[in-house]
A and B are shown apart, each in its own frame.
Chain A
Amino acid sequence: MKRVLNKKVLFGLYDDEEILKDAVKQINKEEAEIMDVYSPFPVHGLDPLLGLTESRLHIAGFMYGITGTTLAFGFMTWVFTCDWSIIFGGKPYFSVPAFIPITFEFTVLMAAVGMVVTFYLVCGLGFGVENPCLDNRITDDKFCIAFDVTHSSQEEVEALSVLLERTSAGEVHTKDI
């Protein structure tokens, strides 16, 4: 499934993440609106510059985990106290210590699977998804700052190109995605 965004994008390619961060700082100063930044690896210190708030994935993870805890413990309790009570080795039906290992494992399982699924959903990623690629080298050694110029005039695009070049972008291109 090839995703088409119907956007015109102006982007600059940088050679190093430190130059990229400086460029973002400078672009922020000039109040140009960055569409997105792409990099071959996570660049630390970039998120606050782009105004990205902290990911809430871990909160989701906690929710999934606590759901797993409740489900596992509740289910075992129900099975052994209500549905089909069996005495194992003379121990009580509701034998909490024996429920702990499975409760723990199921908590971890739910939290992990839930978080991973959520991650791919919120990022719009998945098997068969084909997102537009600005440049093949972005997953190799180039760092990219992209502007959405779909509704920009020719002058605005030129001004942004100059800005990119001024911030030491090695290459500046436009692309329809």
Chain B
Amino acid sequence: MTAPAAKPAAGTGSRSLRQAHPRYAEQLVKALLMIAALVSVATTIGIVIALIPPTVDFFQRVGVWEFLSGTVWTALFAEPEYGVLPLLAATLLITGIAVAVAIPVGLGAAIYLSEYAHPRTRKLLKPTLEVLAGIPTVVYGFFALAFVTPRLQDWWPFGGDGPEIKNALSAGLVMGVMIVPTIASLAEDAMAAVPRSLRDGAYALGSGRRTVAVRVVVPAALSGIVAAFVLGISRAIGETMIVLIAAGARPDLSWNPLHEMQTMTAFIAGAASGDVSTASFEYKTIFAVGAYLFVLTFVMNVISIRLVRKYREVYE
């Protein structure tokens, strides 16, 4: 190996430091991975593009204010009225019931799994919980209609007529149960990522488990926990099958959870699968409601990202 050494210092020997061949495989892999990353972005853009023209058409005939503040929704009737409030009320009410169930239960489950459970218990319980997230929503919907609603009617202790056959309450409760695994699993991931050293520091100061969980782990994992909430709420707002089956198809602005009511998603699914002609004006109402739903979830996500940035405790 004397030859390279004998060359002057400026030389690099027989082997150049320059790249011998272009690395095509590397570039191909990079391109493929980038395409994979772009698919979801492209889909979102595609949805927005698809929503805009029919929505614009719709608002040329129906005023924006009339749409947003109207209290009667009879879009598919002979003499239609386009007030979206009943659909919005049903969506918010059912989502509210679902979130009221899912956030405490989901967060509680996450804290239990991450801070209290024996490792063996966690190993068993977490996958079980995640299996729940894989149950098709149509099964949940049927469960709400065929099991929960009759039980509610039988046991209704508050007098009055009790829940109707289709009602917001049972749809909301079951939807809450449906999103518990999502929230619990993601929140647990966030808490498990909090460094052990922080817990040790808190325990060494004479904290009990509850204090460590509430004062140290949850604040440190807050951004992940809120992300879990947001994903859960987004699933609830967008959920269609449960509300279609268990909450019904009658727009109702009563805010009474015992009533049958139609959510925005249930209207879209019902109208789109009905016999509405694609050329008709009724068809465009679907897009208007869809666009409104899109804007609502988008705004909610933006607000929650802001909130998280403001309140989270960054470790490392």
A and B assemble together: no
State the B residues within 8 Å of A (CB).
Answer: none
Which residues of A line the B interface, CB within 8 A? none
